[in-house]
Amino acid sequence: MIPAAFDYVRPGSIEEALAALADPDAKALAGGHSLIPALKVRLARPSVLVDLRDLDLRGVAIDEAAVTIGALTTYGEAARALAGVSGVDALREAIGSVGDLQIRNAGTIGGCIAHADPASDVAAAVLALGARLTAQSPAGTREIAADDLFLGPFTTALAAQELITEITIPRGGGSAYASVEDLASGYPLAGAAVRLARAGESDGSCRVALTGALGAPSRLPSVEALIEREGVEADLSAALSALELATDDVAYRRHLVEVVVRRAAARAVERSAA
């Protein structure tokens, strides 16, 4: 219930923060609502926490083409900024699924993505929306496509001394996020984000991302191909049965995956036509 002891530093700049993260036992602290619960049960035992709170990485910028979210923007701030903003519905719905009012006031979008929980709602949404992360390290700044970010459970392509600074989400198409939540934890047993192109949009692809049921939040290329070929009414059973689910309760979970993909796809179709 109480973390093991650690030291605490609160850098005033990204450079200072990155330098503090040179210690292999250091952990970055954003909103803390994934890290602190892990500290409390002593699953994580960092020697030092690097509190990013004072870094100027908050805020949401919106233009016609994209939404750019500072990494330390809370779920709640992002939700309010995205209210009524078209072309990012999957992200807004995923954020609304996260935790509860208090958790959304504290947890951050960047922290969530960097944490890479295999049941992260937001991860599915950023995958389906083709988001790009801007990340900074002592070597400089780079862009990472969401597609290249999630490598496994709680594992990303970020280096130890690298921090997400902002998340850019291209607007467009019709998208949605649908999930079936575990009654106790609220985490998705299966959560699907689907993005469909509007008629006449240059990017005609369908993007489908799944969370909660796999080892990491992932695109489902075989499902995407089927939907692109045959529309959202396509028979997905063959594609879904090939998925390696991260559970022993395969039949029910596979069924839930289909349910959420269909629900998200149906809403995405409506929005892409609107």
Partner 1 sequence: MGGTPTSVTLTVNGVERTLEVEPRMLLVHALRDDLGLTGTKVGCDTSQCGACTVHVDGRAVKSCTVLAVQATGAEVTTVEGIGSLARLHPLQAAFVEQDGLQCGFCTSGMIMTALDLLARDPDPDGETVRHALAGNLCRCTGYETIVDAVRAGAATMRSPA
Partner 2 sequence: MSIEELDTTVVGVRRPRIEAPTKVTGTALYASDLPVAGLLHGRFVPSPYAHARIVSIDAAAALALDGVAAVLSAAALPIAGSGTRALEPLAREEALYAGQPVALVLAESEAIAEDAAELVVVDYEPLPAAVDLDAALDASAPPARTSTVGAADAADMAVHGDAAGSVEEAAPTASPNVTSTHRLEHGDVDAAFAASAAVAEGVFRTGWVHQAYIEPQVATAWVEPDGTVAIHSSTQGASFARAAVARVVGIPLEKVKVTPAVVGGGFGGKIVLIEPLVAAAALAARRPVRIAYTRTEDLSATNPAAGLRLEVKVGMDAEGTLTGIRSRIAVDEGAYGDMSPSGLIGPRIGAGYTWPAWDVEVTAVKTNKFGPGAYRGPTATQCTFAIEQLVDELADRLGLDPLEVRLRNAPTEGAQKLDGAWPAVAAREALEAAGEHPLWRKRAALPQDEGIGLAYGLFPGARFAAGAVCRMEPDGSIAVVTGLADITGTATAIAAIAAETLGLSFEQVRVNVVEASAAPQTPVSGGSAITYSVGKAVRAAAEDAREQILRIAADELEIAPADLEIVDGAVRPIGSPDRGVTLSDIARKSTGFGNAYPPVEGRGATVPAELSPSACVNIVHVRVDRDTGRVDVLDVAHVQDVGRAINPLLCEGQMRGGVTQSIGYALFEELVHDEDGQLQTPTFLGYAIPRAEHVPAIDTVIIEVPSKHGPLGAKGIGESAIVPGAAAIANAIHAATGARLRTMPMTPRRVWQALRES
170 binds partner 1, rule: CB under 8 A: no
DSSP state letters, 255-272: HHHHHHHHHHHHHHHHHH
The minimum distance between CB 201 and partner 2, in angstroms, equals: 30
DSSP state letters, 136-162: EETTEEEEEEGGGTEEETTEES--TT-
Closer residue to partner 2 in complex, CB, 144/234 = 234
Distance, in Å, from the CA atom of 246 to the CA atom of 87, rounded to the nearest integer, reads 31
Closer residue to partner 2 in complex, CB, 126/190 = 190
Binding mask 66-85 for partner 1 (x = CB under 8 A): ----------x---------
The minimum distance between CB 53 and partner 1, in angstroms, equals: 7
Spell out where the chain has E strands: 7-9, 26-29, 48-51, 60-62, 66-70, 132-137, 140-145, 150-152, 155-156, 163-170, 174-181, 188-196, 207-211, 218-219
Binding mask 226-245 for partner 1 (x = CB under 8 A): --------------------
Name residue, tokens 């990485």. 57
The minimum distance between CB 105 and partner 2, in angstroms, equals: 18
Closer residue to partner 2 in complex, CB, 207/254 = 254
The minimum distance between CB 21 and partner 1, in angstroms, equals: 16
Pick what 47 binds: partner 1, partner 2, none; C-beta below 5 to 8 Å, kind-dependent: partner 1
Distance, in Å, from the CA atom of 53 to the CA atom of 13, rounded to the nearest integer, reads 10
Distance, in Å, from the CA atom of 229 to the CA atom of 226, rounded to the nearest integer, reads 5
Closer residue to partner 1 in complex, CB, 163/268 = 163
Closer residue to partner 1 in complex, CB, 163/220 = 163
Record the tokens describing residue 131, joined without a space.
């988001």
- Which residues make up the interface to partner 2 (CB under 8 A)? 1-2, 4-5, 41-42, 180, 182-185, 249, 252, 255-256, 259
CB-CB contact of 55 with 20 (8 Å): no
- Three-state DSSP class for 242? coil
Which residues contribute to the site for partner 1 (CB under 8 A)?
1-8, 10, 29, 32-33, 36-37, 39-41, 47-49, 51, 53, 76, 99-103, 105-106, 186
